[in-house]
């Protein structure tokens, strides 16, 4: 939707730029013709004020702490739905009817196995390889097995690749975990729901029957809903940029996984738990708060702060509730890490540094405590984030491919290097 224009003055000359309004949220000034009109670029490292695309998928109001998937509040989806329903919603734009949901579950379930030769990729890694390194490699390698779904111009192949990605991420994630702990791979069991299947592939052993705990399965399914999509975050922007060159979807998702791994992004859940373990007891919190505020100290409170949320991350609230649910179900009465986390949150939320900079807990602050209690090692936390975010990456990638105005992403720069100069032979150099 377009509306009025905005006028910029460059070299005393007015430049009219179209203003485009969205359904909700900030309007945008369309600068796509700015360089042609003025010979100048805009400059926005970190893209703090830049909209890279139009999207109908997810909306965040950072000031109000609102997160909508296709218009539905995250709180309602987490409360009433399941993860595959959220996948359907993100992919197709509407909540599924009962028949559509049954068909979608069936189609995803029928793609849960990976080619058995994928097992050989794992044996090349050391057992202590970080599972995220394994996931980057294995997801990228999927394109070697599925040449029949890498033609991105074919909507059917895009759909098949999407189903394959959503279905196989839990299997590969579970394989990465099993390889890490030195246990045999467990194949998917298709009479289980998506998240129960994943828990069984992670924690079942050939030596005995494994019964999925429905409370833990529901909690993890809800955690997947919370992580499913989040506008144009760093890893989603990576997937879009990789996809804009025509790269196959498996390679694009592998690029997204690599970006998510960073501690400033999806790696924060692993870093946040390590931080809580390092703090150890509530009496050491002031020392770490001081470090976080010290300009000369690179330390940051992991799981705190957000580029968009300048209010409490709505996912963190649901995450905190889920943490208590899981600890109660597991009979963990007093978790020292939770004591440190709750105390740290209370101190930080009153500290003027955090108040002034609007730093609140984000989704990564409580997730680690929950996942550790469920039995996952810290190194698996970001793998679980990637598992859940795959549907968001796929939905955003599909939206980008289907956008008629889509072209290869190619930002420009402000060059501050040497002006042109002539070659100097070695003999002439100082």
- Applying CB under 6 A, the residues found at the interface with ligand SDX are 46, 230, 233, 264-266, 268, 292, 300-308, 357, 359, 362-364
Q: Which is nearer to ligand SDX, 250 or 304 (CB)?
A: 304
Compute the least distance from the CB of residue 181 to ligand SDX, in Å. Answer: 27
Q: Which is nearer to ligand SDX, 55 or 197 (CB)?
A: 55
Which whole-number Å values give the CA distances from 35 to 31, 44, 59, 69, 412, in the listed order?
8, 15, 29, 34, 10
Compute the least distance from the CB of residue 25 to ligand SDX, in Å. Answer: 15
Q: 154 an active-site residue?
A: no
Question: What DSSP string describes 219-260?
Answer: HHHHHHHHHS--SS-HHHHHHHHHHHTT--HHHHHHHHHHHH
The residue number whose beta carbon is nearest to ligand SDX equals 305
Q: Specify which residues 72 forms β-bridges with.
A: 69
Alpha carbon 378 to its chain's center = 17
Which whole-number Å values give the CA distances from 379 to 122, 301, 313, 423, 427, in the listed order?
16, 19, 23, 49, 53
| Annotated catalytic residue, options 105, 193, 335, 364 | 364
Q: Specify which residues 69 forms β-bridges with.
A: 58, 72
| Annotated catalytic residue, options 306, 324, 334, 403 | 306
Question: Distance (Å, rounded) from C-alpha 21 to C-alpha 160?
Answer: 34
Compute the least distance from the CB of residue 237 to ligand SDX, in Å. Answer: 9
Q: 364 an active-site residue?
A: yes
Compute the least distance from the CB of residue 233 to ligand SDX, in Å. Answer: 3
Q: Which is nearer to ligand SDX, 264 or 332 (CB)?
A: 264
Q: Which is nearer to ligand SDX, 118 or 289 (CB)?
A: 289
Question: Distance (Å, rounded) from C-alpha 383 to C-alpha 133?
Answer: 10
Q: Which is nearer to ligand SDX, 45 or 206 (CB)?
A: 45
Compute the least distance from the CB of residue 385 to ligand SDX, in Å. Answer: 8
Residue 311 burial (C-beta neighbours within 10 Å; 0-12, 13-18, 19+): middle
Which residues are known catalytic residues?
306, 364
């Amino acid at each position: 939707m377009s509306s009025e224009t905005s006028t910029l003055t460059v070299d005393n000359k007015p430049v009219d730029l179209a203003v485009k309004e969205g359904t909700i949220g900030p309007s945008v000034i369309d600068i796509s013709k700015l360089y042609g009109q003025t010979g100048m670029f805009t400059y926005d490292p970190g893209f703090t004020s830049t909209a890279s695309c139009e999207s109908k998928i997810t909306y965040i109001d950072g000031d109000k702490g609102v997160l909508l998937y296709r218009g539905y509040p995250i709180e309602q989806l987490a409360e009433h739905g399941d993860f595959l329903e959220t996948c359907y919603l993100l992919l197709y734009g509407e909540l599924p009817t009962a028949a559509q949901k049954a068909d979608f579950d069936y189609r995803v379930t029928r793609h849960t196995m990976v080619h058995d030769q994928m097992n050989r990729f794992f044996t090349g890694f050391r057992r202590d390889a970080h599972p995220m390194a394994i996931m980057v490699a294995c997801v990228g390698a999927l394109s070697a097995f599925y040449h029949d779904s890498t033609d991105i111009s074919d909507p059917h192949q895009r759909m098949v690749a999407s189903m394959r990605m959503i279905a196989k991420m839990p299997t590969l994630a579970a394989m990465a975990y099993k390889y890490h702990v030195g246990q045999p791979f467990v194949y998917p069991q298709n009479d289980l729901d998506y998240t129960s299947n994943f828990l069984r592939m992670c924690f079942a052993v050939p030596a005995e029957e494994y019964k999925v705990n429905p409370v833990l399965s529901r909690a993890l399914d809800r955690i997947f809903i919370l992580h499913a999509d989040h506008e144009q975050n760093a890893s989603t922007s990576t997937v879009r940029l990789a996809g804009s060159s025509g790269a196959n979807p498996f390679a694009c998702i592998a690029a997204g996984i690599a970006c998510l791994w960073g501690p400033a992004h999806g790696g924060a859940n692993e870093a946040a738990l390590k931080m809580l373990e390092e703090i150890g007891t509530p009496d050491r919190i002031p020392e770490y708060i001081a470090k976080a505020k010290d300009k000369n100290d690179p330390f940051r409170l992991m799981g705190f702060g957000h580029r968009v949320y300048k209010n409490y991350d709505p996912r963190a609230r649901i995450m905190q509730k889920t943490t208590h649910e899981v600890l109660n179900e597991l009979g963990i009465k007093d978790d020292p890490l939770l004591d440190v986390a709750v105390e740290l949150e209370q101190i930080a939320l009153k500290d003027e540094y955090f108040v002034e900079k609007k730093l609140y807990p984000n989704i990564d602050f409580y997730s680690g405590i929950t996942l550790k209690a469920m039995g996952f090692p810290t190194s698996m936390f970001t793998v679980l984030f990637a598992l859940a975010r795959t549907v968001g990456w796929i939905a955003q990638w599909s939206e980008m491919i289907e956008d008629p105005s889509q072209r290869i992403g190619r930002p420009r720069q402000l060059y501050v290097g040497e002006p042109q100069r002539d070659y100097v032979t070695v003999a002439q150099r100082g």
